[in-house]
Structure 1
Amino acid sequence: MRTPVKGVNTFKIAATYIGTIVGAGFASGQEVFQFFTTFGIGGIWGIVLATILFFFFGYSILLLGSKLQAQSHVQIVHFTNGKIIGTIIDIIITVFLFGALAAMIAGAGAITEQQFGIPPLFGTIVMAVITLLTVLTGISGVINAISYVVPVLLASVLFITIYSLIGNPITQEEIQIANELEGAAPNWFISAINYASYNLVIAIAILGPLGAQAKSHRSLFWGALLGGLGLGIGVLAINFSILTSIIESSQVEVPMITIAEQISPVIQLIFAVVLFAEVYTTAVGNLFGFGSRLNFIKKKKTVVIISTLLAFAVSQIGFSAMVEYLYPAVGYGGMLLLIGIIYAWVFKRESLT
């Protein structure tokens, strides 16, 4: 497993940031539904807050990765949170990288079942195999692949949203229905922080080493800004799309495919393919990060193979169940990381400038 090529530019930083996060939960609409849509108007304010958090903490992690020349997330969490709390966060990140990998594999199964009527087992097997093969052969090419997939995904999401809003404008009744549904957190404020937190737990495994490969601090800043804005716009668009079909969306594992289906079967198929590609890039990032953390084990390939097999087994729990229970739990634990980063900005600022 190799790290990304040196000298990555602003666009690749932004695309990799977005691509690491917009896997099965994000692009499928399941995460957005549970963390924002269920709060109605409050969910929009939550999206604004989450976007700001994505920019600030994303930039902080990239900058720390550059200053510390991080090879994994370990150097960063020990610097921001100290050895004891940093070790706890390290365990949380490592466990969640594995859990998120299982969620991506489960998401692939949900996509193949909902789109093609094929048993989810088929999709999970395909995703597990191609993810394993990619990480075994090196991840540098995946950074380039993400650069192409991310713009297509965002363009697809925006198209579906605009089409849905024109053909089926959001009504007060739909917002009221959304408010009556149960979300993943008690209110939109906590939900936004939790959402950003667990996503950053995933992203730090890639953003830390990526910061060490960047061309300049300027590219880190603009990469984080464009990445954060891209994520925010994507979440907002998906949220509006789900609100236009709130009843149907609340009953399926992949709401965005259901919404795309209402436009045309062709759009539905195209979006399903793009979504599957995004799940793949996120799964690769998670497996790479998990494998990198276990680099103290000499037989790296064996570790990656066994990890993939175990993640495949865990994925059989089901996609929506993992998003509903695993993600919020990790998000609360990941808040320790966010507090540590803020502490580093205040009391260790000289080390970052």
Structure 2
Amino acid sequence: MQQIQTNNMTKHLTSIQIAATYIGTIIGAGFASGQEILQFFGYLGVRGLLAVGITSLLFMGFGFAILHIGHRLQATSHLQVIRFSGGNWIGTVVDSVITFFLFGALTVMAAGAGALFAQEFGLPAIVGGLIMMLATLVTVLRGIRGIVSAMSYLAPFLLLSVLGLGLTTVAINWGKLAENIGWSMTEAAPVPNWIISAINYTSYNLVVGVAVLAPMGGIANQKAISGGAILGGLGLGLGALTITLSILANVPEAIRYPIPMLFVAQLLSPALGYGYGIVLLLSIFTTAVSSLYGFASRLTDPGGPHFRRLVIAASAVAFLGSQVGFTTLVGTLFPAVGYAGLLLLGSLVFGMFKLNYRSGLAESQPEPVLPASLKPLLDSDPSDKNISTVLAGETPGHKNLSTFTAGDKSPED
């Protein structure tokens, strides 16, 4: 029964679904609020735009690596992928970082929902965090297929909304963007070097993403994996680029708010501000869902009796931790996990090398070469009297005294 279910899932999982789930996993912790983009790219000015380009390529490459290794291993958890890629010691360290940050990202998403409710609707932050945790809890209890299904519908809408707002802002404020293009505030960036910032940004996002991408690779075919990784990385790169440009077009005002993109939307129209607030809530929701599922499935079997209790307990603790505040959590937790996540990126490179080396080794093995004396037997009749001597370890014309065929006579005769 399990095999039948897996085959059905593999058959219907398309590149679009993989890309949508990839984007949906990253979009909340990655860029929808604008605070993450501001800290990793916006503060760096023009160099931040170059960093966005590098990030998009890294998302494609490492996203493919996670999916591909998961596919080859038929993974049901990210643990199988990182243990294969990094070995026991490094795999254990990386797994600890991932498990910690999955819970940390869940906490940040709860804080982000609270900040959004406070900034946009004037409600206490605790209300937003509570609503987010309840919605996340219900979705995760539906399992991995529920997550893929939810993100397949939400992620394209979220990405199009982000792109639409970003492109509209850039078009309207093109003159101001041209004036501000040389602006930077490097001293405020948690990672001042633009190349390292791009790697760090990719790293912390994939620490979240691997929890969903690895088991998804286990139920997808190779063609869908390749297309999904490319489309996912491209979509994430375009989203990050438009948000960076939108923020640069509205500095320094935009950087004063915990959710810069909500401020940008409100500048265009109060109604648009409310609309983007809903979009942002949905993007936070998708990342919260993937984080909670990844965290809980790492600690216990999703089909086991303890999964439901763990999901409920983790949601409650994350809600309490979210009271620290959104901006503080983004500026401290994300960069720290990004550095620790470099072990994950390195392990994935090594994991791909191991897979390719094994495949190449298997392909390079020569075909077995038969002795010339055996080749005539390939075309001979199975009843040929010489075959019995071959099976006994002899070749025709080289029999010992203990091996005879049906047509031979005993030396005593």
TM-score normalised by L of structure 2 = 0.81
CA contact (8 A) 1:67 1:352 kept: no
Per-residue CA shift, 1:144-167, capped at 9, x if unaligned? 221222222222222222222222
The match for 2:193 among 163, 187, 192 is 187
1:42-82 CA distances to partner (integer Å, 9 max, x unpaired)?
Answer: 00110111111100000010001101111111111111111
The one of 202, 207, 210 aligned to 1:201: 207
Structure with max Cα Rg: 2
| Conservation of the 8 A alpha-carbon contact between 1:39 and 1:183 | yes
* CA deviation after TM superposition for structure 1 residue 259, in Å: 0.3
* Distance in 2 (alpha carbons) for counterparts of 1:6 and 1:194: 32
Distance in 2 (CA, whole Å) between partners of 1:264 and 1:145 is: 29
CA distance in 2, matches of 1:95, 1:186: 25
Between the aligned partners of 1:194 and 1:25, the Cα distance in structure 2 is 12
Partner AA of 1:289 in structure 2: G
* Residue 160 of structure 2 is aligned to residue 152 of structure 1: no
Structure-2 change in CA distance of 1:180 and 1:74 (3 Å): closer
Write the letter of the residue equivalent to 1:12.
Q
Say which is worse superposed, 176-185 or 85-94, in terms of deviation.
176-185
**Letter in structure 2 aligned against 1:317:** V
Q: Note if 1:318 corresponds to 2:325.
A: yes
Contact 2:33–2:259 (Cα < 8 Å) also in 1: yes
In the alignment, structure 1 residue 301 sits paired with structure 2 residue 270: no
Partner of 1:142: 147
CA separation of 1:5 and 1:274: change in aligned 2, threshold 3 A? farther
Q: Quote the Cα distance in structure 1 between the aligned partners of 2:359 and 2:26.
A: 25
> RMSD of the alignment, in Å?
1.9
CA distance in 2, matches of 1:25, 1:63: 22
Taking the aligned partners of 2:218 and 2:307, their CA distance within structure 1 comes to: 22
- What is the Cα deviation at residue 33 of structure 1? 0.4
Query: Offset at 1:102?
Result: 0.4
Runs of 4+ in 1 over 3 A off after TM superposition: 2-7, 170-173, 350-353
Tell me the equivalent position of 2:230: 225
The partner residue of 1:96 within 101, 120, 123 is 101
* Superposed CA offset, 1:180-221 (max 9, x none): 55112021111000000011110000000000111x211100
Match of 2:340 in 1: 333
Answer yes or no: is 1:61 the counterpart of 2:66: yes
One-letter amino acid of the counterpart of residue 147, structure 1: S
Q: Name which of structure 1's ranges 293-302 and 222-231 shifts more when overlaid on structure 2.
A: 293-302
Q: Distance in 1 between matches of 2:133 and 2:359?
A: 38
Q: Which residue of 2 aligns with 1:271?
A: 276
**More RCO (CA 8 Å, sep 6+):** 1
Instruction: Tell me the amino acid that sits aligned with residue 320 of structure 2.
Output: A
Moved more, 142-151 or 190-199: 142-151
Aligned residues: 351
Amino acid aligned to 1:133: V
Alpha-carbon contact 1:24-1:108 (below 8 Å) kept: no
Q: What amino acid does structure 1 have at the position aligned with 2:22? A: Y
How big is the shift at 1:141?
2.6
